[in-house]
Structure 1
Amino acid sequence: MFSTKSSGRYVTLPLGQNYRTAPDGICKMSLEAIRWKDNKLEILDQLLLPASTEFMHVKNVEDGWQVINKMQVRGAPAIAIVGCLSLAAELVNSSYSTCSDLMKAVTEKLQYLVTARPTAVNMRKATDDMITFMSQCHGKGMSTEELKSSIISRCENMLAIDVDTNKKIGDFGAQSILANSDAKQVNVITHCNTGSLATAGYGTALGVIRSLHAQGKLGHAYCTETRPYNQGARLTAFELVYESMPSTLICDNMAASLMKSKEIHAVVVGADRVTCNGDTANKIGTYQATVVAKYHGVPFYVCAPITSIDLCLPSGESIPIEERPHKEMTHVAGVRIAAPGISCWNPAFDVTPAELITGGIVTELGVFKPSEMYEKIKGEAS
């Protein structure tokens, strides 16, 4: 049983609103990490999972920047959605004299949100999209209030679009894994968290696992702990247990031994950015998993919406890699575990070369080889 409680800016809320029947017959609610209702935004504080489920009010852009930067909300799609909805929440109670003033303020606020987590491209692309959208609306002669309402609606629509996108990714990925295996049920490994807690719902790489499970084709899912922030142990494991999927947690350094000792049919991960040549940036530890998968002949899949594809960068060498505070490595739950005085290197992401992505890049448009991705989707992703 997971607790919910109220304190300060936190409010007591159920984990979700949509009830469903789980395989064990127990009526459960679908996970929600982002809640938008009556022009108010609340996010599930993921720093507290799995011990407790507490929702935070996000009242404005500054709140949005803080919860993204502190990783109370994380995952490339969720970062963009929460960032834009924090803007919408602020706009509801704001007024501007002219459309030009409104557009200038929105542009500045969105550009500020981009700085919260620089590696994921989704927030930047959402910013570029909104700037283009505002210009188009302004050209139609909208009033300031009409333009403000249109901006808020566009932010709101990101929730439904993301869930639909994720379900398509899940189905395409599952179909590809099954098509390349003779097994009646497949065993997969995933790294970090790419599920409902990292998106508006369902998930990308974890969405593939959900799709396999829904079809009765999932033998077993293995999730890594994902040091140093333990997103796999805290969040992915939470979702797998919540959805009653057959699953096991492993340490990051166990992947090679697992692939050697058990039959693994695929590795599926997410991506915070994909470049023109198919290189991908994802949570630190992904690169070593691809090397191990290549050695063992296990197909490696990267799952990402086209909003995560950055056609402005030629290769992964150009991706900015965020470095996180040393305390994330030296402390666990506030307790120091590392020797005092030791220096630390804590990149949040690493880059996987395209040639190691042997299964393909899974998008809402289909599964593509890294070498063919640019030509297949350049019109959609630009």
Structure 2
Amino acid sequence: MTYTLGWDDGVVVAIDQRVLPHELRWLRLATVEEVIEAITTLAVRGAPAIGLAGAFGVALSAHLHADPAVVRADAERLAKARPTAVNLAWGVRRALGRLDQGAPAVLAEASMMLAEDEATNRTAARLAAGLVLSLTPDRPLRVLTHCNTGRLATAAWGTALGTISDLAGRGLIEEVLVDETRPLLQGARLTAWELAEQGIPHRLLVDSAAAAAMSLGQVDVVLVGADRITARGDVANKIGTYGLAVSAARHRIPFIVVAPESTVDNTLAHGSEIVVEERAAAEVTSFGGTPVAPAGVAVFNPAFDVTPAELVSAVVTERRVWRPNHGAELARRITEALGEGLDLSGVYTDPALFGATAGALAEEFRGSFDAVLGLASGGLLLGAALARHAEVPLVLPGNPVAPGTRVLVVDEVLGDRLGDAAELVWGSGGTVAGFGVLLVESGSGDAEKLAPHKVVALAEVSG
């Protein structure tokens, strides 16, 4: 695959994304100032792509200047060219880490990052495609995407758009709905161009039509990229993403974020800490150089918004499928399946939901238990599924356990019989690893009775 930026004979080369789709123009950036300008004017854009541009910018400075102090000063300016995407500072920092070994080593590091980019994207896209297929109908899919997350945004293959390419290669895309992505139309200009280049069926829609498309049943899944992801899973992405997530949640449509692991910023706990770039008013008040609004009108033009983790079905990177909202989604599904009198039979008759509950409890207590004690009826079914998932023995009610065995006690609803079961475990010389249940009644005080042991209830209802 042809990279969309790189190094050629002492200069940084990149496709000028400002003139697409009407012209395919390559820029030759011979100074650090030109690299910075290309980033700030969106000639080069997309979080992974600007990270690579930053790395090659450092390589360019090292190529031009023998003084490390000059290179470090250039690196600082490059890292600050755009504030929201964490990849830019990451790319600059990684390339700068080789400066002590000389300019060729810096260039080698940037070139290695370029090669890694395609492999990273393909792996993430493959993981995301598998997740999409597990969450959507068994037929060719209608996918909605926002902004541009293809090879233009990453140098090769793409993240969310790479996932679409992966699915299309399997014959599993019916149609892609492409948000135009105001105000600079990255969807209309860039994503539609990439989809046409690949021959993938697509339609363009104005951003404000996305919710209507969902309400009309035209969307099976929403796939987007990211510029920064916090430790809790809040996602900064192109302005308009938050609104898509709200609409997707309303219509129970999976909302999946695909991004490289380098986009995750574990130094930030919450989305409110992300610095959101605000761009020039002229991007909104004019189009193609022609004014479209009254002179002097006040403008709010953030380049990005932040989608709370609670609205994200999953974040997929090259390393993992991360579901920051999995607990809330699972709780909703359990309470929806609940019958009268705390009847949880609806959970057991839904194989996907039942499997998810066992998996969630196994994850909550990962590595802390050697056996599962499932209490009578539904608790025994849950215990059997959990034991199978965790590959540990199932202990039947009333049976002794080997001394020293760490036992996870599970039941349908948090209540007194969990404490009674714990007494049996202790009487056999075992230890209680914790208590896991599907449901707890709020205000019951049952969790406090089991202190100091860890208690996990997957859902809560009013008592």
TM-score of the two chains, using structure 2 as the length reference: 0.68
1:186 aligns with 141
Distance 1:132 1:94, change over 3 A: closer
Rounded to whole Å, the distance in 1 between the matches of 2:230 and 2:277 is: 17
Distance 1:157 1:43, change over 3 A: same
2:317 matches 1:363: yes
Can you list the C-alpha shifts for 1:179-201, whole angstroms capped at 9, x where unaligned? Answer: 12232211110000011111111
1:111 aligns with 76
Gaps of 5+ in 2: 327-362, 364-463
Equivalent residue for 1:292, pick from 243, 247, 254: 247
Equivalent residue for 2:49, pick from 65, 78, 88: 78
How high is the sequence identity, in percent, across the aligned residues? Answer: 39
* Equivalent residues of 1:169, 1:204 under 8 A apart: yes
TM-score of the two chains, using structure 1 as the length reference: 0.82
2:94 matches 1:129: yes
Tell me how many residue pairs correspond in the alignment: 328
Q: Judge which range, 210-219 or 125-134, deviates more.
A: 125-134
Equivalent residue for 2:178, pick from 223, 240, 252: 223
2:29 matches 1:58: yes
2:295 aligns with 340
1:265 aligns with 220
2:277 aligns with 322
Higher relative contact order (CA 8 A, sep 6+): 1
Gaps of 5+ in 1: 1-17, 19-29, 97-101, 139-145, 376-382
Q: Judge which range, 40-49 or 347-356, deviates more.
A: 40-49
Shift of 1:106: 2.9
Rounded to whole Å, the distance in 1 between the matches of 2:222 and 2:124 is: 15
Rounded to whole Å, the distance in 2 between the matches of 1:76 and 1:62 is: 19
SS class of match (1:370): coil
Equivalent residue for 1:89, pick from 60, 74, 77: 60
Letter in 2 for 1:362: V
Shift of 1:132: 4.5
Rounded to whole Å, the distance in 1 between the matches of 2:197 and 2:97 is: 40
SS class of match (1:221): strand
Can you list the C-alpha shifts for 1:86-129, whole angstroms capped at 9, x where unaligned? Answer: 22233224334xxxxx2x33332211111111000111122333
Rounded to whole Å, the distance in 2 between the matches of 1:87 and 1:128 is: 9
Letter in 2 for 1:69: T
Rounded to whole Å, the distance in 2 between the matches of 1:341 and 1:151 is: 46
Rounded to whole Å, the distance in 2 between the matches of 1:106 and 1:35 is: 19
Shift of 1:57: 0.9
* Equivalent residues of 1:61, 1:83 under 8 A apart: no
Shift of 1:371: 5.8
Rounded to whole Å, the distance in 1 between the matches of 2:87 and 2:6 is: 19
* Equivalent residues of 2:271, 2:308 under 8 A apart: yes
Q: How well do the aligned residues superpose, as a CA RMSD in angstroms?
A: 1.8
Can you list the C-alpha shifts for 1:230-254, whole angstroms capped at 9, x where unaligned? Answer: 1000111110111110111110000
